[in-house]
Amino acid sequence: MDGSLIPVDVTGHDSFMPRFHRRKVILVTGGAGFVGSHLCERLIAEGHSVVCLDNLLTGRKENVAGLLDHPQFRFLEQDILNRIDWQGPLDEIYNLACAASPPLYQRDPIHTFRTCTEGVLNLLALARATGARILQASTSEVYGDPEISPQHEGYRGCVNTVGPRACYDEGKRAAETLFWEFGAHQGLEVRIARIFNTYGPRMSPEDGRVVSNFIVQALTRSDITLYGDGMQTRSFCYVDDLVAGLMALMASEVSEPVNLGNPGEFTMRELAEMVLTQTGSSSRLVHRPLPVDDPRQRRPDIAQAARLLGWAPTVPLAEGIARTIRHFAGEPQVVRAREALLVHA
Protein backbone atom coordinates (compact mmCIF):
# COMPACT_ATOMS: atom_id res chain seq x y z
CA MET A 1 0.00 0.00 0.00
CA ASP A 2 2.97 2.26 0.65
CA GLY A 3 3.86 4.96 -1.75
CA SER A 4 0.50 5.35 -3.44
CA LEU A 5 -0.96 8.81 -3.30
CA ILE A 6 -4.65 9.37 -2.80
CA PRO A 7 -5.49 12.91 -3.86
CA VAL A 8 -7.81 14.83 -1.60
CA ASP A 9 -8.89 18.14 -3.05
CA VAL A 10 -10.92 20.40 -0.83
CA THR A 11 -10.14 23.61 -2.70
CA GLY A 12 -12.96 23.45 -5.23
CA HIS A 13 -15.64 22.64 -2.67
CA ASP A 14 -17.19 25.77 -1.34
CA SER A 15 -18.31 24.02 1.81
CA PHE A 16 -14.69 23.12 2.53
CA MET A 17 -13.50 26.73 2.38
CA PRO A 18 -13.31 28.32 5.80
CA ARG A 19 -15.85 31.14 5.54
CA PHE A 20 -15.05 32.86 8.79
CA HIS A 21 -12.45 32.59 11.42
CA ARG A 22 -13.91 29.81 13.54
CA ARG A 23 -14.83 27.39 10.76
CA LYS A 24 -11.95 25.01 10.24
CA VAL A 25 -11.13 22.21 7.84
CA ILE A 26 -10.40 19.16 9.95
CA LEU A 27 -9.17 15.68 9.06
CA VAL A 28 -10.24 12.90 11.43
CA THR A 29 -8.41 9.65 10.70
CA GLY A 30 -10.12 6.62 12.15
CA GLY A 31 -13.19 8.85 11.97
CA ALA A 32 -15.62 5.95 11.43
CA GLY A 33 -14.50 4.27 14.65
CA PHE A 34 -16.18 4.46 18.01
CA VAL A 35 -14.51 7.62 19.33
CA GLY A 36 -13.86 9.06 15.86
CA SER A 37 -17.51 9.07 14.86
CA HIS A 38 -18.52 10.95 18.01
CA LEU A 39 -15.73 13.44 17.36
CA CYS A 40 -16.84 13.95 13.73
CA GLU A 41 -20.41 14.60 14.88
CA ARG A 42 -19.32 17.15 17.43
CA LEU A 43 -17.01 18.96 14.98
CA ILE A 44 -19.76 19.13 12.36
CA ALA A 45 -22.19 20.38 15.01
CA GLU A 46 -19.75 23.19 15.78
CA GLY A 47 -19.77 24.24 12.12
CA HIS A 48 -16.47 22.84 10.92
CA SER A 49 -15.75 21.02 7.66
CA VAL A 50 -14.69 17.45 8.34
CA VAL A 51 -12.92 14.88 6.19
CA CYS A 52 -13.34 11.49 7.83
CA LEU A 53 -10.73 8.98 6.71
CA ASP A 54 -11.04 5.34 7.72
CA ASN A 55 -9.86 2.01 6.28
CA LEU A 56 -12.97 0.35 7.84
CA LEU A 57 -10.82 -2.45 9.29
CA THR A 58 -12.48 -1.83 12.64
CA GLY A 59 -14.44 1.35 11.97
CA ARG A 60 -17.93 1.04 10.51
CA LYS A 61 -19.51 3.27 7.91
CA GLU A 62 -22.79 2.99 9.85
CA ASN A 63 -21.11 4.95 12.63
CA VAL A 64 -21.10 8.05 10.40
CA ALA A 65 -24.29 7.23 8.50
CA GLY A 66 -25.96 10.31 9.94
CA LEU A 67 -23.24 12.56 8.54
CA LEU A 68 -22.78 11.19 5.03
CA ASP A 69 -25.25 13.61 3.43
CA HIS A 70 -24.00 16.64 5.34
CA PRO A 71 -22.45 19.18 2.93
CA GLN A 72 -19.49 19.80 5.20
CA PHE A 73 -18.69 16.15 5.73
CA ARG A 74 -16.76 13.88 3.45
CA PHE A 75 -15.93 10.20 3.98
CA LEU A 76 -12.84 8.60 2.47
CA GLU A 77 -12.17 4.87 2.74
CA GLN A 78 -8.40 4.80 3.03
CA ASP A 79 -5.57 3.49 5.15
CA ILE A 80 -3.17 6.05 6.65
CA LEU A 81 -0.35 3.82 5.36
CA ASN A 82 -1.25 5.40 2.00
CA ARG A 83 0.19 8.86 1.80
CA ILE A 84 -2.39 11.60 1.35
CA ASP A 85 -1.96 14.21 -1.36
CA TRP A 86 -4.01 17.01 0.15
CA GLN A 87 -5.06 20.03 -1.91
CA GLY A 88 -6.39 23.08 -0.13
CA PRO A 89 -6.42 24.29 3.44
CA LEU A 90 -6.16 22.01 6.44
CA ASP A 91 -6.34 23.36 9.98
CA GLU A 92 -6.33 20.32 12.21
CA ILE A 93 -5.69 16.57 12.11
CA TYR A 94 -6.99 14.22 14.77
CA ASN A 95 -5.24 10.87 14.35
CA LEU A 96 -7.51 8.21 15.80
CA ALA A 97 -6.52 5.58 13.24
CA CYS A 98 -5.61 2.29 14.91
CA ALA A 99 -7.48 -0.77 16.09
CA ALA A 100 -7.77 -0.32 19.84
CA SER A 101 -8.87 -3.61 21.37
CA PRO A 102 -6.52 -6.58 21.85
CA PRO A 103 -8.34 -9.17 19.69
CA LEU A 104 -8.57 -6.67 16.82
CA TYR A 105 -5.09 -5.14 17.00
CA GLN A 106 -3.61 -8.64 17.36
CA ARG A 107 -5.33 -9.85 14.19
CA ASP A 108 -2.58 -8.27 12.05
CA PRO A 109 0.05 -7.11 14.56
CA ILE A 110 2.50 -5.85 11.94
CA HIS A 111 -0.19 -3.72 10.33
CA THR A 112 -1.11 -2.38 13.78
CA PHE A 113 2.49 -1.47 14.43
CA ARG A 114 3.01 0.11 11.01
CA THR A 115 -0.19 2.13 11.44
CA CYS A 116 1.40 3.70 14.52
CA THR A 117 4.76 4.35 12.85
CA GLU A 118 4.66 4.61 9.05
CA GLY A 119 1.04 5.77 9.13
CA VAL A 120 1.85 8.38 11.75
CA LEU A 121 4.85 9.55 9.71
CA ASN A 122 2.53 10.06 6.72
CA LEU A 123 0.19 12.21 8.82
CA LEU A 124 3.05 14.20 10.34
CA ALA A 125 4.31 14.87 6.81
CA LEU A 126 0.82 16.07 5.86
CA ALA A 127 0.71 18.34 8.91
CA ARG A 128 4.10 19.77 7.97
CA ALA A 129 3.02 20.33 4.36
CA THR A 130 -0.25 22.04 5.28
CA GLY A 131 0.67 23.73 8.55
CA ALA A 132 -2.13 21.84 10.30
CA ARG A 133 -2.05 21.28 14.05
CA ILE A 134 -2.04 17.54 14.73
CA LEU A 135 -3.30 15.48 17.66
CA GLN A 136 -2.33 11.89 18.36
CA ALA A 137 -4.75 9.56 20.10
CA SER A 138 -2.26 7.87 22.39
CA THR A 139 -3.35 5.57 25.14
CA SER A 140 -3.01 4.53 28.75
CA GLU A 141 -1.44 1.36 27.30
CA VAL A 142 1.83 3.31 27.09
CA TYR A 143 1.89 2.77 30.88
CA GLY A 144 1.56 -1.00 30.39
CA ASP A 145 0.85 -2.83 33.66
CA PRO A 146 1.57 0.13 35.95
CA GLU A 147 3.30 -0.12 39.32
CA ILE A 148 1.75 3.16 40.51
CA SER A 149 -1.84 4.32 40.69
CA PRO A 150 -3.14 6.66 39.52
CA GLN A 151 -0.79 7.11 36.57
CA HIS A 152 0.51 10.63 35.94
CA GLU A 153 2.11 11.75 32.68
CA GLY A 154 5.65 11.57 34.06
CA TYR A 155 5.34 7.86 34.81
CA ARG A 156 7.38 5.96 32.25
CA GLY A 157 5.35 2.80 32.25
CA CYS A 158 5.84 -0.91 32.60
CA VAL A 159 5.51 -2.31 29.09
CA ASN A 160 6.73 -5.68 27.89
CA THR A 161 8.49 -5.20 24.54
CA VAL A 162 8.10 -8.87 23.67
CA GLY A 163 4.59 -10.23 23.94
CA PRO A 164 1.18 -10.21 22.28
CA ARG A 165 0.26 -6.67 23.41
CA ALA A 166 3.57 -5.11 22.35
CA CYS A 167 2.57 -4.40 18.73
CA TYR A 168 0.04 -1.91 20.10
CA ASP A 169 1.73 -0.71 23.30
CA GLU A 170 5.13 -0.17 21.71
CA GLY A 171 3.54 1.13 18.52
CA LYS A 172 1.68 3.78 20.49
CA ARG A 173 4.83 4.65 22.46
CA ALA A 174 6.68 4.98 19.16
CA ALA A 175 3.96 7.30 17.81
CA GLU A 176 4.46 9.60 20.80
CA THR A 177 8.17 9.67 20.06
CA LEU A 178 7.54 10.62 16.43
CA PHE A 179 5.12 13.35 17.48
CA TRP A 180 7.65 14.70 19.97
CA GLU A 181 10.37 14.76 17.31
CA PHE A 182 8.25 16.65 14.80
CA GLY A 183 7.17 19.07 17.52
CA ALA A 184 10.62 19.68 19.00
CA HIS A 185 12.71 19.68 15.83
CA GLN A 186 10.41 20.47 12.94
CA GLY A 187 8.19 23.14 14.42
CA LEU A 188 4.90 21.25 14.18
CA GLU A 189 2.07 22.01 16.60
CA VAL A 190 1.63 18.56 18.11
CA ARG A 191 -0.82 17.37 20.75
CA ILE A 192 -0.68 13.98 22.50
CA ALA A 193 -3.74 12.64 24.34
CA ARG A 194 -3.22 9.54 26.49
CA ILE A 195 -6.72 8.11 26.36
CA PHE A 196 -7.88 5.80 29.14
CA ASN A 197 -10.76 3.33 28.85
CA THR A 198 -13.68 4.95 27.08
CA TYR A 199 -17.15 3.59 26.58
CA GLY A 200 -20.43 4.61 25.06
CA PRO A 201 -22.74 4.07 22.10
CA ARG A 202 -21.11 2.63 18.94
CA MET A 203 -18.45 0.64 20.71
CA SER A 204 -18.12 -2.41 18.52
CA PRO A 205 -20.09 -5.25 20.09
CA GLU A 206 -17.39 -7.65 18.89
CA ASP A 207 -14.18 -5.92 19.83
CA GLY A 208 -13.80 -7.67 23.14
CA ARG A 209 -13.74 -4.57 25.33
CA VAL A 210 -15.21 -5.09 28.73
CA VAL A 211 -18.12 -2.63 28.74
CA SER A 212 -19.50 -3.78 25.39
CA ASN A 213 -18.83 -7.44 26.31
CA PHE A 214 -20.77 -7.19 29.56
CA ILE A 215 -23.69 -5.27 28.06
CA VAL A 216 -24.09 -7.58 25.06
CA GLN A 217 -23.73 -10.65 27.29
CA ALA A 218 -26.35 -9.29 29.71
CA LEU A 219 -28.79 -8.26 26.97
CA THR A 220 -28.52 -11.66 25.28
CA ARG A 221 -28.63 -13.55 28.62
CA SER A 222 -25.21 -15.10 27.88
CA ASP A 223 -22.70 -15.74 30.66
CA ILE A 224 -20.78 -12.64 31.69
CA THR A 225 -17.06 -13.34 31.40
CA LEU A 226 -14.79 -12.13 34.19
CA TYR A 227 -11.08 -12.61 33.57
CA GLY A 228 -9.06 -13.67 36.59
CA ASP A 229 -10.81 -12.92 39.89
CA GLY A 230 -12.58 -9.87 38.46
CA MET A 231 -10.96 -7.67 41.09
CA GLN A 232 -8.69 -5.87 38.57
CA THR A 233 -9.89 -2.29 38.17
CA ARG A 234 -10.45 0.06 35.29
CA SER A 235 -11.63 3.61 35.07
CA PHE A 236 -14.25 4.31 32.44
CA CYS A 237 -14.78 7.59 30.65
CA TYR A 238 -17.99 8.31 28.78
CA VAL A 239 -17.27 9.08 25.13
CA ASP A 240 -18.82 12.59 25.18
CA ASP A 241 -16.47 13.56 27.99
CA LEU A 242 -13.50 12.21 26.08
CA VAL A 243 -14.44 14.07 22.89
CA ALA A 244 -14.68 17.31 24.88
CA GLY A 245 -11.21 16.59 26.29
CA LEU A 246 -9.71 15.92 22.86
CA MET A 247 -11.09 19.20 21.52
CA ALA A 248 -9.88 21.12 24.57
CA LEU A 249 -6.39 19.66 24.11
CA MET A 250 -6.38 20.50 20.40
CA ALA A 251 -7.37 24.09 21.24
CA SER A 252 -4.68 24.40 23.91
CA GLU A 253 -0.98 25.19 23.59
CA VAL A 254 0.06 21.99 25.39
CA SER A 255 2.50 19.89 23.36
CA GLU A 256 3.36 17.43 26.15
CA PRO A 257 1.30 14.26 26.64
CA VAL A 258 -1.93 14.76 28.63
CA ASN A 259 -4.02 12.02 30.26
CA LEU A 260 -7.71 12.02 29.35
CA GLY A 261 -9.95 9.70 31.27
CA ASN A 262 -12.27 9.36 34.20
CA PRO A 263 -10.49 8.65 37.49
CA GLY A 264 -13.51 6.89 38.99
CA GLU A 265 -12.22 3.36 39.61
CA PHE A 266 -14.35 0.23 39.45
CA THR A 267 -13.54 -3.47 39.61
CA MET A 268 -14.67 -5.65 36.73
CA ARG A 269 -17.03 -7.35 39.19
CA GLU A 270 -18.63 -4.02 40.17
CA LEU A 271 -19.09 -3.13 36.50
CA ALA A 272 -20.66 -6.52 35.77
CA GLU A 273 -23.08 -6.10 38.67
CA MET A 274 -24.05 -2.58 37.56
CA VAL A 275 -24.81 -3.92 34.05
CA LEU A 276 -26.80 -6.85 35.48
CA THR A 277 -28.85 -4.52 37.66
CA GLN A 278 -29.58 -2.00 34.89
CA THR A 279 -30.52 -4.66 32.35
CA GLY A 280 -32.37 -6.86 34.80
CA SER A 281 -30.58 -9.75 33.14
CA SER A 282 -30.38 -13.30 34.45
CA SER A 283 -26.85 -13.82 33.04
CA ARG A 284 -24.41 -15.63 35.32
CA LEU A 285 -20.86 -14.46 36.07
CA VAL A 286 -18.20 -16.92 34.90
CA HIS A 287 -14.44 -16.73 35.36
CA ARG A 288 -11.75 -17.22 32.71
CA PRO A 289 -7.95 -17.07 33.01
CA LEU A 290 -6.37 -13.59 32.82
CA PRO A 291 -4.83 -12.92 29.38
CA VAL A 292 -1.04 -12.41 29.09
CA ASP A 293 0.17 -8.94 30.19
CA ASP A 294 -3.35 -7.82 31.08
CA PRO A 295 -2.92 -4.77 33.35
CA ARG A 296 -4.23 -5.27 36.89
CA GLN A 297 -5.08 -1.63 37.44
CA ARG A 298 -5.42 1.45 35.30
CA ARG A 299 -6.55 4.84 36.54
CA PRO A 300 -5.69 8.29 35.19
CA ASP A 301 -4.27 11.15 37.16
CA ILE A 302 -6.02 14.01 35.36
CA ALA A 303 -4.54 16.90 37.33
CA GLN A 304 -2.69 18.08 34.21
CA ALA A 305 -5.85 18.08 32.08
CA ALA A 306 -7.70 20.00 34.80
CA ARG A 307 -4.92 22.55 35.23
CA LEU A 308 -3.90 23.03 31.59
CA LEU A 309 -7.18 22.45 29.77
CA GLY A 310 -9.79 23.20 32.42
CA TRP A 311 -11.26 19.83 31.56
CA ALA A 312 -12.81 17.10 33.69
CA PRO A 313 -15.32 14.37 32.90
CA THR A 314 -18.92 15.03 33.92
CA VAL A 315 -20.95 11.89 33.10
CA PRO A 316 -21.26 9.43 36.04
CA LEU A 317 -20.71 5.75 35.22
CA ALA A 318 -24.29 4.70 36.03
CA GLU A 319 -25.68 7.30 33.62
CA GLY A 320 -23.17 6.51 30.86
CA ILE A 321 -23.86 2.79 31.22
CA ALA A 322 -27.62 3.44 30.96
CA ARG A 323 -27.12 5.40 27.70
CA THR A 324 -24.84 2.67 26.36
CA ILE A 325 -27.31 -0.11 27.21
CA ARG A 326 -30.04 1.81 25.30
CA HIS A 327 -27.73 1.95 22.27
CA PHE A 328 -26.81 -1.72 22.37
CA ALA A 329 -30.41 -2.80 22.79
CA GLY A 330 -30.92 -1.43 19.25
CA GLU A 331 -27.84 -3.06 17.66
CA PRO A 332 -29.02 -5.52 14.98
CA GLN A 333 -26.84 -8.33 16.35
CA VAL A 334 -28.32 -7.91 19.83
CA VAL A 335 -31.88 -7.51 18.53
CA ARG A 336 -31.56 -10.78 16.56
CA ALA A 337 -30.11 -12.62 19.54
CA ARG A 338 -32.94 -11.38 21.78
CA GLU A 339 -35.57 -12.39 19.24
CA ALA A 340 -34.04 -15.87 19.14
CA LEU A 341 -34.27 -16.03 22.93
CA LEU A 342 -38.00 -15.20 22.72
CA VAL A 343 -38.54 -17.89 20.09
CA HIS A 344 -36.89 -20.50 22.30
CA ALA A 345 -38.50 -19.22 25.51
Binding footprint of its own copies on the chain (CB under 8 A)? 2-3, 109-110, 113-114, 117-118, 121, 142, 144, 156-164, 166-167, 170-171, 173-174, 176-181, 184-185, 192, 256-257
> Quick one: 59 or 257, whose CB is closer to its own copies?
257
Tell me whether the omega of the peptide bond preceding residue 313 falls within 30 degrees of 0, making it cis: no
d(CA 327, CA 341): 19
The phi-psi region of residue 82 (left if phi > 0; otherwise alpha if psi is between -120 and 50; otherwise beta) is: beta
* Cβ at position 176, least distance to its own copies in Å: 4
d(CA 295, CA 297): 6
* Cβ at position 109, least distance to its own copies in Å: 5
3-state secondary structure labels for all residues of 56-97? CCCCCHHHHHHHCCCCCEEEEECCCCCEEEEECCCCEEEECC
* Cβ at position 190, least distance to its own copies in Å: 10
* Cβ at position 166, least distance to its own copies in Å: 4
Kindly list the distances between the CA atom of residue 75 and the CA atoms of 262, 298, 309, in Å, as whole numbers in the listed order.
30, 34, 30
Produce one character per residue of 164-203: b if its CB has 16 or more CB atoms within 10 Å, e if not: ebbbbbbbbbebbebbbebbeeeebbbbbbbbbbbbbbbb
> Quick one: 38 or 173, whose CB is closer to its own copies?
173
> Quick one: 33 or 144, whose CB is closer to its own copies?
144
DSSP alpha helices (H): ranges in 142-257? 166-186, 210-219, 239-251
* Cβ at position 129, least distance to its own copies in Å: 15
Inter-residue contact 305 to 311 (CB < 8 Å): yes
Q: Could you confirm whether 105 is annotated as catalytic? A: no
> Quick one: 90 or 124, whose CB is closer to its own copies?
124
> Quick one: 223 or 294, whose CB is closer to its own copies?
294
- Choosing from 168, 199, 227, 238, the catalytic residue is 168
DSSP secondary structure of 4-58 = -EEEEE-SS-GGGS--STT--EEEEETTTSHHHHHHHHHHHHTT-EEEEEE--SS
* Cβ at position 307, least distance to its own copies in Å: 18
d(CA 187, CA 220): 52
> Quick one: 156 or 287, whose CB is closer to its own copies?
156
Point out the residues that are catalytic: 168
